[in-house]
Structure 1
């Protein structure tokens, strides 16, 4: 019988970033002063105007245009019959929120499947009956047999690509030659070896390629998904045949902008990512459609599943939406957070309609920059737990489309009675059951 060491830690989590935030103010100019999102009618081209400095195609008939006179350009384009809509490039305000949760760390003394020294602290790897997601059991029983390597894009604060537990699982652009200053693959980005940075742009407004993580959030998320297994170092990720594509789109103070998010999604999809993890969000959408339409587009055109954190405001997002979680795309999977006691984390958002599934998110140990490890809590941590499971299931069943993969993950949950009125699936994700469910579809 497995033995566990139980101890409780009371802690305060300063939720100053990402899915841990709530928008506290709608006042002020929380949009880019020089960028406007424009959707054109089918078969139409961008209208000519001296107010447009440059136009960049995002996806389908949607563009971002750069201008020195945003308000005047809005008026001009809104009167043009070839334009479906214009949207300002909104972002969330810089805010802080103090969320408190009493998390329980259950350190497993049985980490037989892995030789990574700190994997015993990953309470989420425990069996479903012990409030985990059955990672240890799957690898002990060798019931996972990946057929294809899966690319997971982490749209976040960047990733420490030199971390001892991540360096060997980073995606590298096969079409680029390192450091030659040339766009070798003609994808519009020079030396995008590991991904792109949509926050820092060159003089022409193009995204750059430094994806260094100066915060820690993106590196932590990446480790939960894909920290190298059985390398004798640190922890282990959930997925065994996976590469992390690093896209820096979320600033350290979490005021990500719609254009940056859309460009991140499109880059990931075009470069082969089949899962995108979004551990960020804002609680006001300003009525925009472009991000939601981008999620729909990459699902239908590229077969991408987007996994999003539900947010950490302890609220029902069916009543008080948060985005991107509250978009209704078929290929969007929204995640609440649980504790090692099996309860929903006190900070976690929920919603019978808007939240799909639950996963461990309280006190999750993972990688942080400079070869260090740290525990963090939030739906930001629950989302990559689901992304890791999704990657392992997809690696075993690479023919699954994103909507079917989402259905598999939701259908195979371990049911929790207290969750039946809180989230659509009524349960916590379970790697073992998901692999069985997916395999049954191939019979």
Structure 2
């Protein structure tokens, strides 16, 4: 017995009608951790931990490496289109350029809608945040600010029913707005003071370090005896130690000004650039085919895309889930919150143009036209498309904070879509930190968990970095869904969703959550509907069993 057995036991299920009954083809249903384990991963493992296997590696990954080695080495898959409803994306990234969907029915740059889908020259997807002249929207209001702007006149009259749901929502929006305004103003002052202090310290120390290249070593060599330089050296050392530069401090200031002037500005109208009516779903004469602009500001889509489909085995960067996963860019996410209209039209665009999986890595707590999104989710379900969405990064229990969109129910009511999934994130730790501090959770709303903490992924301009968030977890589940639909195209979206939920790995670990400002320890399995973490190996075993049973 090796050392791993001291930490783990596994409950094993066999699929006799699926594959040979060998140790290579065992379905590991539940992992019992007999002792908390704090994983300290090597750098080489950190960069791909999400693909590891819990039994072989004692890392709670999705067993993807094991699936390729034992289940897929002699199989041939089909390409699957995965629509990414997200920000604009670096389609020229070295690890993604061969994985971007191409609309072969559209002739490039002829200014004609060749495929008659309503979108001119959409050869690589569609940008719902632009106009026909090529200008693109960057910033947008937060959804609760938009909600206030749309309803303030209605609720300014004395006769308003203060017990109505609409007024309660308006009051909730106003309370959040006032709170965030105070925080934003305080943070802006902090950013301005930081730049002032950095500039002052740079000037005072300029005689000693004239090239402005400050390092801790060079700062230590400055004699501060009797010359009043000590506070400036200490201040600059703080900036250096925390990797603040003049440029990064200016970026922070710019971000915090934008938060006040645009995201939190009730009078701001971001739709002027687009020229459409955001309250009219039939007004679709907007957008353009530029899905890759402003990638210095928009990194999110590129980060998610890498986990789904970065080219495997090319000796570059990272390996995605599958080379058969082709990314369809559908740009609906600005800096700020998405409009319901863009979300709804984006889902329909993806469905109508052949996507079998739609990844949506965004969320908001207010929705002006949630019925548009609900109808779009029903449309996707009707056309056999699986939608995978991130659960959000607010550390919220969605059982209580049930104002979260997109979702397939309203206020924890009955679900109206069988092909929608909400995904939370896990870390690589086999202890109470398995649930990272940021991930939302909820027994009713969250269907499944996946790796989403300290994940190495693609960034624009051929860069790679560690990142965290439920967006990454959703991307991984979307990638696995694409993997299943690639090798088992006879399975429906409903079947794929059920497979993902039923084949995941259970962990009998206790997780730490915050309830009423105090810490509480609960079973990890109680934090989602399935109680499981996605497992590609198990999912493929179950997919084969179900596929064979249908023949």
Which TM-score applies when normalising by structure 1? 0.72
| 1:257 has 2:339 as partner | yes
Kept in 1, the 8 Å contact 2:443–2:528? The answer is: yes
The 8 Å contact of residues 90 and 461 in structure 2, kept in 1 or not, is answered as yes
Secondary structure of 1:421's aligned partner: helix
In structure 2, the residue matched to 1:298 is: 380
User: Which 10-residue stretch deviates more, 143-152 or 178-187?
Assistant: 143-152
The alignment status of 1:331 with 2:419, answered yes or no, reads yes
Who is 2:72 aligned against?
143
| 1:375 to partner: Cα distance | 1.5
1:432 maps to 537
Q: Which one of 163, 167, 171 corresponds to residue 97 of structure 2? A: 167
Q: Which has the higher strand share?
A: 1
Instruction: For 2:373 and 2:76, locate their aligned partners in 1 and report how far apart those are by CA, in whole Å.
Output: 32
User: Which residue does the alignment assign to 1:442?
Assistant: 547
The partner residue of 2:52 within 126, 138, 157 is 126
CA distance in 1, matches of 2:2, 2:113: 53
| Distance in 2 separating the partners of 1:142 and 1:122 | 20
| SS at structure 1 position matched to 2:130 | strand
Partner residue, 1:210: 290
Q: For the structure 1 residues 285 and 361, does the alpha-carbon distance in structure 2 shift closer, same or farther, using more than 3 Å as the test?
A: same
Q: Match for 1:270 among 344, 352, 373?
A: 352
Question: What is the deviation of 1:3?
Answer: 12
Matches within 5 A, 1:106-125: 106-107=41-42, 121-125=47-51
CA shift for structure 1 position 188: 1.4
Distance 1:160 1:2 in 2: 45
Kept in 2, the 8 Å contact 1:122–1:365? The answer is yes
Relative contact order, CA 8 A, sep 6+: which one is greater?
2
> Does the 8 A contact of 2:81 with 2:355 survive in 1?
yes
In structure 1, the gaps of 5 or more residues are 5-102, 111-119
2:490 to 396, 399, 405: 399
Asked if the contact 1:310/1:325 (under 8 Å) is kept, the reply is: no
- Would the alpha carbon gap of residues 2 and 287 (structure 1) be closer, same or farther in structure 2, given more than 3 Å must change? farther
CA distance in 2, matches of 1:387, 1:185: 27
**Could you say if the C-alpha distance between residues 224 and 407 of structure 1 is closer, same or farther in structure 2, counting changes exceeding 3 Å?**
same
Secondary structure class of the residue paired with 2:529: coil
Which runs of 4 or more aligned residues in structure 1 lie more than 4 Å from their structure 2 counterparts after TM superposition?
A: 1-4, 107-110
Unmatched tracts of structure 2, length 5 or more? 5-37, 133-274, 277-284, 410-414, 509-522
Larger deviation, residues 189-198 vs 287-296: 287-296
1:104 Cα offset (Å): 7.0
CA gap 1:431/1:406 in 2 versus in 1, 3 angstroms: same
Shift of 1:186: 1.6
C-alpha distance in structure 1 between counterparts of 2:366 and 2:425, whole Å? 21
1:177 aligns with 2:257: no
In 2, the alpha carbon distance for the partners of 1:305 and 1:317 equals: 21
Contact (CA 8 Å) 1:146, 1:241: kept in 2 or not? no
Contact map agreement 1:281 1:325 (CA 8 A) in 2: no
Residues 384/405 of structure 1: CA separation in 2 closer, same or farther (3 Å cut): same
- What SS does the aligned partner of 1:255 have? coil
Bigger shift: 128-137 or 406-415? 128-137
CA contact (8 A) 2:484 2:539 kept: yes
User: Who is 1:350 aligned against?
Assistant: 441
- The TM-score, its normalising length taken from structure 2, stands at 0.58
Structure 1: distance between partners of 2:130 and 2:41: 41
Aligned to 1:307: 388
User: CA–CA distance in 2 between the matches of 1:400 and 1:239?
Assistant: 18
| Structure-2 change in CA distance of 1:241 and 1:3 (3 Å) | farther
Q: What SS does the corresponding residue of 1:383 show, helix, strand or coil?
A: helix
Question: Structure 1 residues 287, 260: closer, same or farther in 2, change over 3 A?
Answer: closer
Match of residue 189 from structure 1: 119
Find the counterpart in structure 1 of residue 305 from structure 2.
222
Measured after TM superposition, the shift of residue 287 of structure 1 is 7.0
Q: Could you say what secondary structure the match of 2:489 adopts?
A: coil
The residue that corresponds to 2:259 in the other structure is: none
Partner of 2:85: 155
CA RMSD of aligned residues (A): 2.2
Q: 1:2 to 1:188 in 2, by over 3 A?
A: farther
Counterpart residue number, 1:370 = 461
Greater fraction helix: 2
